[in-house]
Amino acid sequence: MTDAPPAHKSVFRGLLAHFAWEAILFLLVAVAAVGTFLRSEPGAYFWLALATAGVTASALALSFRTATPNLAVPSIAALTAAIYAVLSREDWPGIAAGAIAILAAGVLGVLLGVVAGLTSAPGWAVSLGGIAISSAVFMSLVGTRGVIVPAVGRPGTATAIGFMAIFVIGSLAGGVLFAIRAVRRTLSANRVSEDPAHFRVKKLIGALAGFTGSSLLAAVAGLMMAVTQGGVFGNASWQPLLVAAAVVLMGGVSVFGRRGGIAGVVLATMLLAFLPMALGLEGPSEWRLFGLPAVFIFIGLIVGFALEKMGGRED
């Protein structure tokens, strides 16, 4: 019987496989960007929307890395935006309104993490409760007419640059952090194959890190959403979750937890943003809203399987 390779060799081989996929993504982004800029130069709103979607995807990616997928991320982002908008309408200072909104998201994330950690229930199952809670509160706050943030003007180039910096630097920093083997072993204990009802402290730590961290990142995305749109409008839907999942999977983040590369989420977000414009798919068409995310999801699942195979076993 062939012995398994040493852990450090498996780690290196896994990262090398991710770097190869990210190189392919980089080339695809470059081609799509050229096609986009040949048609028209994206404005500030394009970059604001890209950054907001990217932070949302980064939040979901964090929960995937800890093997506690938090499907409530877009719902928590929408809830945060709603709380911020309502408090701003009541003349709360912007910093105070944002702090309360982030605190609410953090509390919900801790609650979901404790439930997942103590019961060893799959993260996706626990997060369904998070979707129900955040959606119910969102609808009670926003209703059907929406809420305008009175103090927010039309965001400009400086705001877009700031949002993009938050997204890119934050996502890359998270990738680098999870490249450290000790971090992955501590925070991704939910990946291990064992009795699903067996309690371990590391599984609780991982669940708390995954749910709380992803909820706080979702809160940041929610505040960015409120600023970009000047308020909160419409009903919460599944479409932002499909986009975030498409980006995470296309970026090479494993559905089994732990593995995820460094720049995959950033590159996949940019690809999903540039590609419709390069192809001339402007406006909220069915193909742009659902078709491309579906293609990304299935390609991402295949890529994730291949990366798991090439990465080998990592204890």
pLDDT of residue 148: 75
pLDDT, tens only, 175-203:
999 988 888 888 887 876 666 666 778 88
More confident residue, 42 or 101: 101
Residue matched to tokens 């399987």: 305
Residue matched to tokens 């290196």: 12
Identity of the highest mean pLDDT range in 64-68, 145-149, 224-228: 64-68
Rounded to a whole number of angstroms, the distance between the first and last alpha carbons of the chain is: 18
Partners of 232 in the β-ladder: 147
pLDDT of residue 1: 41
**Looking at the domain covering 7-311, what would its CATH class be?**
mainly alpha
Structure tokens at 35: 């096609």
- Measured CA to CA in angstroms, residue 116 lies from 63, 74, 113, 191, 305 at distances of 12, 19, 5, 13, 25
Residue 206 corresponds to which amino acid? G
The pTM assigned to this predicted structure is: 0.90
Residues in the chain: 315
Structure tokens at 297: 């999801």
**What residues does each domain of the chain span?**
7-311
Distance CA 296, CA 286 (A): 15
pLDDT, tens only, 143-156:
767 777 766 666 78
What 3-state class would DSSP assign to 38? Answer: helix
Rg (CA), the chain: 19
Distance CA 170, CA 176 (A): 10
pLDDT, tens only, 121-174:
999 999 999 999 999 999 888 876 777 776 666 678 888 999 999 999 999 999
What 3-state class would DSSP assign to 231? Answer: strand
Instruction: Tell me the three-class secondary structure of the chain, residue by residue.
Output: CCCCCCHHHHHHHHHHHHHHHHHHHHHHHHHHHHHHHHHCCCCHHHHHHHHHHHHHHHHHHHHHHCCCCCCCHHHHHHHHHHHHHHHHHCCCCHHHHHHHHHHHHHHHHHHHHHHHHHHCCCHHHHHHHHHHHHHHHHHHHHCCCCEECCCCCCCCHHHHHHHHHHHHHHHHHHHHHHCCHHHHHHHCHHHCCCCCCCCCHHHHHHHHHHHHHHHHHHHHHHHHHHHHHCEECCCCCCHHHHHHHHHHHHCCCCCCCCCCCCCHHHHHHHHHHHHHHHCCCCCCCHHHHHHHHHHHHHHHHHHHHHHHHHHCCCC
* Residue 231 backbone phi and psi in degrees, to 5: 155, -165
